[in-house]
């Protein structure tokens, strides 16, 4: 449980996240400017010397993630932040960190792509975030905030998970969450303890063997063993699944959406209910591990599902795996920095409701 201060303040998502990182005991930040997340680096560099730990503007995202690698290996609580093109540049480093089992927090304030794309909000990096992103068999722990409050809270949660499981964790936000101002109650400073890190390269005392941090296991037998350990870790991670459900008890149409799209879906749900369509919403909070079982458990009670995303349909694939062909799964998305409106989503819900109704009539 995250402990909070008393009293709310009005803050931008990026700044709330940066302030929360300091309160979570940040010891090192290495980053490179990119819209729409540069406020994180700016906020941290503006702090009194030492308050945010080491804060360094790197020469590139490549350098930044490798500084994070070194600093994490040295035992520090470290993070970086970027937006989509910069996160792409960090994928090699994240693969190395996952293999070397180094904890860190990576914040992706997702913007529209592919390519240089646009600076407007998007969820186009879902695949990259949840399926590994770089080379080899690995996963990041992925948390998806949908409010400024969660931008702050999930920093604590991500650091805790990253350090407990010795794995990079990602907060997958988007340009809107980063830029919007909302009321936030900040987490309490110093409330996240530092776990011991006996594996860190801090200099070898005579009392122990040298510590080596590497992702190189040249013998295939050893490399397979490391892979098996990683897979076992990902299985253990399943117990950290988090999601939120709204009005699913009587829902005939289940909406599934994360992050900003979940806020829009929730509004659409209210509009649908006003028209007498019983819609519910499941919002995955952890995108990896994915709430597969939670969705599967709801499937027998609903007629149809609608996945709402700000991309061409990425999480919908995981939802379909959870549903396993038992119900129709529809998709409503906008791409390239466009945000779907609640009315657009409502339109999709109405269509599905009408179709479901027709089928029911035909069946009877």
Partner 1 sequence: MQTTTIPPEMDLVYRRPDTLTQTPMHYCPGCGHGVTHKILMEVVDELGIQEQTVGVAPVGCSVFAYNYMNVDMQEAAHGRASAVATGIKRILPDRFVFSYQGDGDLAAIGTGETIHTVNRGENILVVFINNAIYGMTGGQMAPTTLLGMVTSTTPFGRESQVMGFPLKITDLVAQLPGAYYVTRQAVHSPTAVRKAKKAFRHALEYQKLNKGTCFIEIVSNCPAGWKMTPVEANEWMEKNMFPAYPLGDLKVPK
Q: Give min distance, CB of 79 to partner 1, in A.
A: 12
- For the purposes of burial, counting CB atoms within 10 Å of the CB of 116, is it exposed (0-12), middle (13-18) or buried (19 or more)? exposed
Nearest distance, CB of residue 201 and partner 1, angstroms: 4
Question: For residues 206 and 361, which CB has a smaller minimum distance to partner 1 in the complex?
Answer: 206
* Backbone phi and psi for residue 105, each to the nearest 5 degrees, phi listed first: -115, 130
Q: How far is the CB of 202 from partner 1 (least distance, A)?
A: 6
Give the nearer residue to partner 1 in terms of CB position, either 210 or 363: 210
Q: What is the DSSP string of 286-299?
A: EEES--HHHHHHHG
User: Taking the complex as a whole, how short is the minimal distance between the CB of residue 56 and partner 1, in angstroms?
Assistant: 6
Looking at the chain, how many residues does it have?
364
Q: What is the DSSP letter of 198?
A: T
Closer to partner 1 by Cβ: residue 21 or 68: 68
Residue 55 backbone phi and psi in degrees, to 5: -125, 120
List the one residue out of 125, 60, 55, 69 whose CA is nearest residue 89.
60
The three-point CA angle 232-194-199 to 5° equals: 55
Smallest distance from partner 1 to CB 138, Å: 14
- Output the six-digit token pair for 301: 């009670």
Residue among 218 and 361 whose Cβ is closer to partner 1: 218
> Cβ distance 281 to 305 under 8 Å?
no
Pair type for strands 253-256 and 54-57 = unpaired
Across 25-37, b (16+ Cβ under 10 Å) vs e yields bbbbbbbbebebb
Largest alpha-carbon pair distance within the chain? 80
Min dist. Cβ of residue 256 to partner 1 (A): 36
Least distance to partner 1 from the beta carbon of 144, Å? 27
In the complex, what is the shortest distance from the CB of residue 229 to partner 1, in angstroms, rounded to a whole number? 17
Nearer to partner 1, 58 or 262 (CB): 58
81/197 Cα distance (integer angstroms): 23
Q: Which is nearer to partner 1, 72 or 266 (CB)?
A: 72
CB nearer to partner 1: pick between 68 and 269 = 68
| Least spacing, CB of residue 97 vs partner 1, in Å | 10
For helices 148-165 and 220-237, the axis angle rounded to 10 degrees is 140
Which residues make up the interface to partner 1 (CB under 8 A)?
27-28, 30, 54, 56, 58-60, 62-64, 66-76, 78, 92-93, 96, 100, 201-206, 210-216
In the complex with partner 1, which residue's Cβ is closer, 30 or 288? 30
Radius of gyration of the chain (CA): 21
Please state, in angstroms and rounded to a whole number, the distance separating the CA atoms of residues 288 and 98.
14
State the DSSP H helix or E strand holding residue 228, giving kind and residue range, or none if neither.
helix 220-237
Cα separation of the two ends of the chain: 50
Give whichever of 11 and 100 is closer to partner 1, judged by the CB atom: 100
């Amino acid at each position: 449980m995250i402990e909070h201060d008393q009293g709310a303040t009005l803050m931008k998502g990026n700044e709330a996240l940066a302030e929360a990182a300091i309160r979570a005991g940040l010891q090192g930040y290495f980053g490179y400017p990119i819209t729409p997340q540069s406020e994180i680096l700016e906020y941290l560099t503006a702090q009194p010397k030492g308050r945010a730990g080491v804060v360094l503007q790197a020469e590139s995202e490549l350098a930044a993630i490798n500084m994070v690698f070194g600093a994490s290996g040295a035992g520090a609580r470290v993070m970086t932040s970027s937006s989509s093109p910069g996160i792409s540049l960090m994928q090699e480093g994240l693969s190395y960190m996952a293999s070397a089992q180094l904890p860190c927090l990576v914040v992706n304030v997702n913007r529209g792509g592919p390519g240089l794309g646009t600076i407007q909000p998007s969820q186009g990096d879902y695949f990259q975030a949840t399926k590994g992103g770089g080379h080899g068999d690995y996963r990041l722990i992925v948390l998806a905030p949908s409010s400024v409050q969660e931008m702050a809270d999930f920093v604590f949660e991500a650091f805790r998970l990253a350090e407990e499981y010795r794995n990079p964790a990602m907060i997958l936000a988007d340009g809107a969450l980063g830029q919007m101002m909302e009321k936030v109650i900040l987490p309490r400073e110093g409330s996240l303890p530092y776990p011991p890190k006996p594996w860190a390269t801090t200099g070898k005392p005579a009392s122990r063997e040298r510590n080596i941090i590497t992702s190189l296991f040249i013998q295939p037998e050893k490399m397979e063993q490391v892979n098996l350990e990683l897979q076992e870790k990902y299985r253990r991670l399943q117990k950290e699944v988090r999601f939120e459900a709204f009005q699913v008890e009587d829902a005939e149409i289940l909406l599934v959406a994360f992050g900003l799209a979940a806020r829009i879906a929730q509004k659409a749900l209210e509009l649908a209910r006003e028209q007498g369509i019983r819609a519910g919403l499941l919002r995955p909070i952890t995108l990896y591990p994915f709430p597969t079982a939670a969705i599967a458990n709801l499937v027998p009670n609903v007629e149809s599902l609608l996945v709402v995303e700000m991309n061409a349909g990425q999480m919908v694939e995981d939802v379909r795996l959870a549903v396993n062909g038992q119900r129709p799964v529809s998709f409503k998305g906008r791409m390239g920095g466009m945000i779907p409106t609640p009315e657009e989503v409502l339109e999709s819900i109405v269509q599905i409701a009408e179709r479901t109704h027709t089928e029911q009539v035909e069946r009877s």
